[in-house]
Structure 1
Amino acid sequence: MNSFKQSITNHWPDFLKDLQQMMQIASVKGTATAEAPYGEGPLNALKQALAFGTMYGFKTKMIDGKIGYVEWGQSSTDYIGIFGHVDVVAAGAGWSVSPFDLTEKAGRFYGRGILDNKGPIMSCLYGLKLLKDAGIEPKNTIRIVFGSDEESGMSDIPAYLAAEPAPVFGFTPDCKYPVVYGERGIVHVLLAFSLTEQDLHMLGTFEGEQSTAYVPDCVSTTLSGEKMTGYGKRAPSNAPELGKNAITQLAIQLQQQEALSAKGQAAFAWIVEKLHEQHTGAGFGLNQCTETTDQLLMTPVILQKTPTGLSLAISVRYPVNTKEEEVLTCMENALPSNASIHVTRRLPSICRDKHSLGVTLLSEVYAQMTGTYSPPVTTTGATYARKVSNIVAFGPSFPGQKGIAHREDEYMAVDDLKQNLAIYMQAIAALIEDETIIQAMK
């Protein structure tokens, strides 16, 4: 372990130089072409990752311009897989530094993708290089797989699995520590409220940046020509308690407006009653429907005017031992008579064996490197582990770190990036040096 840390210290400037080159690629999904199915940015980042792999002395392969891998070892079928991604979400506004660069300031690195996911997956790749340079010979084949559509649907993974076998075991460095053995179910629902002709005439459209990915920070409309605005604080939709929802803030104002009919006022009053700061679903009785210590999380994300009334999109993350049907039933039972519900997206929960050899090994590595044992946990996020069998999420965020990705000034502490590189080196070494692991996991 100490030798790993010394190696990291010796090669730190070189690692940052390569990481910066990757960070400077604006790999946001763009216009598809025959060569670049997700646009030029993601393809350029994918090409760069594989170019680093070749430069470091590893075998590389690209698949359909969508995904590729760096491989070290002899077997082409039985391998350990590390799955990360080089695409990023759009920069958005409000940055204090250039979003597509690597900037160090006051003990932190800033840039789009430093946490999600260029920093972590490049740490895995550079850690592999340092192990190879140290003269280690892998007894088990390892692949670092670079996706380029994780942020927009993960359609890169089916392309990979159509061309390559799934790993025997592996992890994705795209979530949090300690080991994440389960990912909670995700369901997006759309509520439709009917309004009177009077309400439709009086009420304007709803303006502001709204997305299923985050809690909106500013939503406005007009009522009888007068502008009304709800101000909040943006946060990821899987951590709504860190934000302040502009939709419910606006609904608080609209529920009291006499220009609306009683039906219109009631619709906004219902939104306030059921959803304002009700992040765990208590407004729907969902805190009673679940039987687990893992909280359900929900938040309204998109409010729009329709030809017949209102539509309200809600993002729900439910525990691994809760069924989607249970969640939907609780919500349906709480709807007013003028409202309906339908599902627009669903991602079932996944749950791996938290006592398996692979999870145990990664847990031991984390304990060894941090001095603290933490049992495996679940997450509200969605990673490649939902699409690739036999892998779990492992890092990069440490306990207590939430709501950093997908926002302005995305960052990672310098010391945390170094710690991640050391943890991933140790994990890779543990997975490739014991020749019995592959057979034990098959």
Structure 2
Amino acid sequence: MTDPDIKDQVRAYVDSIWEDAVRDLGTLVSIRSVEDLSQAEEGKPYGPESYRALKAAVDIAGRLGLDAHDCDGHIGYADLPGVSKRQIAMIAHTDVVPEGTGWTYDPFTLTRKDGMLIGRGVLDDKGPFVLSLYAAKYYADQVRRTGEPLPYTLRVIIGNNEETEMADVEWYLEHFPQPEFCFSPDANFPLICGEKGGYSATIRSKAIADVIVSFEGGTVGNAVAGEATALVRAQSSKLPATDRIDVEDATDGLVRLTAHGVGAHASTPQGSVNAIGLLVSYLLEHGLCSEAERDFLELEALVFGSTDGSTLGIAASDELFDPLTCIGGTMRTVDGHFEQTIDSRYPTSITSEQITERVGALCRAHHCELTVDLDMVPWSTDPSSDAIRACVGTYNEYTGRKAEPFTIGGGTYARHFKAGGAFGPNDPAFPLPDWVGAEHSADEGFSEEQFKRALEIYIVSLGKLMALDF
């Protein structure tokens, strides 16, 4: 158990720095740090706004007394040197997904309302990143006060490409040694000790655009589309609107159909409504397609017919992970053909090769081709290790729970490290109000009190990790 005096000291520290932490979070939220490879250049490999957020983060870390570095725009880090150069590390990221639609508040202005913080990146992952910096600052202040360095170097790794390719952490591990233990504050408490495989691919039709002039849906491949729009050759007077689909005249004999769904992260699609799937069903129901387009739409109906992969013949489960999930991510009309991305999170009872074989066969039957874009094999770490038990034990002390480590379908930075996990700050045991959006959703936000408690948990956990023999 943690000494009550230490807990009191940590709580007093969190209260004393909180307004500064919120101000720093506001600085980061104001930057629309979405990857833009079309504007990439030397020193800014993921685009100018991603770099601007990275630079702001490095500047904040330096101001807090850490030894901060920008690694040519690929990634950053900030150290509190210890007796040993071996490291205990945290890794969080400053890039975000696009804002999408449906916001009540300005996504790039930090809003405080009823004890909540609202803005794109507040939960994923700028807020947790700020917590990691202030956790390190606690120990930097302690070292300055006592003159006694920590046993290990404490490193905060500043990610900058997590939402797309994670090229940042791959670059990092090519240039720096592995930490002894690394946790990522980019998920749920109590602690994630395993992650499903991550599979993404693109389905491409032949050049068939005819009745359907254009089709645009979704913003990123790893999220259920909240909105989708199609331009079709039709008469609006013959097309009924529905509770989720708007019908309006466009120019030159075209009709614009706009579907409104319910977004979600690709790893947790339960309860979502995919706007692309809504439009696919509407187009088929009302015959808004040529025969060639119908062939493609019928394949699309299989993609959107389930979120467990059953309609694609890839449903799977095992004892370690929840069942496989599969969603359609983005849909685009490109040079007269259609491109649909899919995202699957798979357990150990199926392989990416099997997914490719089964989905590829369906694509060929509908005169489409499948290209695999990403495959990450399932990952897990020993939930009984001393380091993981130290983190989970601290969480249980603060919450009075008896929670255990668990596995997820999402892909976090943790899978890249030899030892570690994804550690909060979101906590399903303490739900947020309905008006606060989740990560990747409109009105993304989080509770200030839960953030404060998470910071306390991180500080105390780091102290326990520093006492272990790695």
- Normalization by structure 2: what TM-score? 0.82
Q: Secondary structure at the match of 2:34?
A: coil
The 5-angstrom pairing of residues 99-114 of structure 1 reads 99-114=107-122
Distance in 2 separating the partners of 1:158 and 1:259: 45
Query: 2-side partners of 1:429 and 1:16: how far apart?
Result: 24
Q: Which amino acid aligns with 1:80?
A: I
Change (3 A) 1:412 1:223: same
Counterpart residue number, 1:201: 210
1:282 — aligned with what? 310
What pairs with 1:21-420 in structure 2 (closer than 5 Å)?
Answer: 21-30=27-36, 31-75=39-83, 77-134=85-142, 135=145, 137=148, 138-193=150-205, 200-216=209-225, 217-224=227-234, 227=255, 228-258=257-287, 260=289, 264-265=293-294, 267-272=296-301, 274-276=302-304, 278-287=306-315, 289-292=316-319, 294-305=322-333, 310-332=338-360, 337-339=365-367, 340-399=369-428, 404-420=438-454
Give, as a single letter, the amino acid of the residue that structure 2 aligns with 1:244.
V
Contact 2:198-2:377 at 8 Å conserved across structures? yes
> 2 CA distance for matches of 1:338 and 1:40?
40
Q: Tell me by how many angstroms 1:411 deviates.
A: 0.4
Q: Answer whether contact 2:209 2:293 (CA < 8 A) is retained.
A: no
- SS where residue 206 of structure 1 aligns? strand
Code of the residue aligned with 2:451 in structure 1: it is: L
Q: Give the counterpart letter for 2:160 in structure 1.
A: S
Structure 1: segments with no counterpart, 5+ residues: none
- State the secondary structure of the residue aligned to 1:343: strand
Aligned partners of 2:175, 2:266: CA distance in 1, in Å?
34
Compared CA separation, residues 265 and 155, structure 1 to 2 (3 A): closer
Maintained 8 Å contact 1:212/1:302? yes
- The code of the aligned residue for 1:219 comes to T
Deviates more, 1:42-51 or 1:100-109: 42-51
Moved more, 41-50 or 112-121: 41-50
Superposition deviation, residue 12 in structure 1: 2.1
Residues 246, 142 of structure 1: CA spacing in aligned structure 2 closer, same or farther, 3 A cutoff?
Answer: same
**Higher mean C-alpha displacement, 261-270 vs 409-418:** 261-270
SS in 1 for 2:154: strand
2:211–2:290 CA contact under 8 A, matched in 1: no
Q: Does the 8 Å CA contact 2:97/2:220 hold for their aligned counterparts?
A: no
User: Which has the higher mean CA deviation after the structures are superposed, 4-13 or 186-195?
Assistant: 186-195
Corresponding residue for 2:240? none
CA distances 1:219-257 after superposition (whole Å, capped 9, x unpaired)? 323145553444322322233224211222122222234
Q: Deviations over 1:147-178 (max 9, x none)?
A: 22222322222332233211011101112222
CA distance in 1, matches of 2:69, 2:16: 29
Instruction: Spell out, residue by residue over 1:292-344, the C-alpha distance to the aligned partner (whole angstroms, 9 max, x if none).
Output: 45121111123345678644322111124532223334434655723443323
Instruction: Decide whether aligned partners of structure 1 residues 158 and 270 sit closer, same or farther in structure 2, where only a CA change above 3 A counts.
Output: closer
Deviates more, 1:324-333 or 1:179-188: 324-333
1:3 and 2:17 matched:
no
Measure how far apart 1:429 and its partner are: 1.3
Q: Secondary structure at the match of 2:151?
A: coil
Relative to structure 1, the CA distance from residue 299 to residue 369 in structure 2 (aligned partners, 3 Å threshold; closer, same or farther) is same
Residue 424 of structure 1 aligns to which amino acid in structure 2? Y
Does the CA contact (< 8 Å) of 1:190 and 1:312 recur in 2?
A: yes
Structure 1 147/192 Cα, relative in aligned 2: closer, same or farther at 3 Å? closer
Q: What residue identity is the alignment partner of 1:14?
A: D
Q: Judge which range, 33-42 or 100-109, deviates more.
A: 33-42
Q: Matches of 1:302 and 1:213 in 2, distance apart?
A: 9
CA distance in 2, matches of 1:92, 1:8: 33
Whether the aligned pair in 2 keeps the contact of 1:205 and 1:222 (CA below 8 Å) is yes
Identity in percent: 28
**Shift of the alpha carbon at 1:83?**
0.9
Paired with 1:58 and 1:308, the residues of 2 have a C-alpha distance of: 52
Decide which of 414, 425, 431 is 2:459's aligned counterpart: 425
- Could you tell me which amino acid in structure 2 is paired with residue 50 of structure 1? V
1:294–1:209 CA distance, 2 compared to 1 (3 A): closer
Mean Cα deviation higher: 28-37 or 359-368: 28-37
User: Which SS does the other structure have where 1:317 is aligned?
Assistant: strand
Distance, in Å, in 2 between the alignment partners of 1:27 and 1:309 is: 30
Aligned equivalents of 2:100, 2:335: Cα separation in 1: 30
For residue 14 of structure 1, report the CA deviation from its aligned partner.
2.9
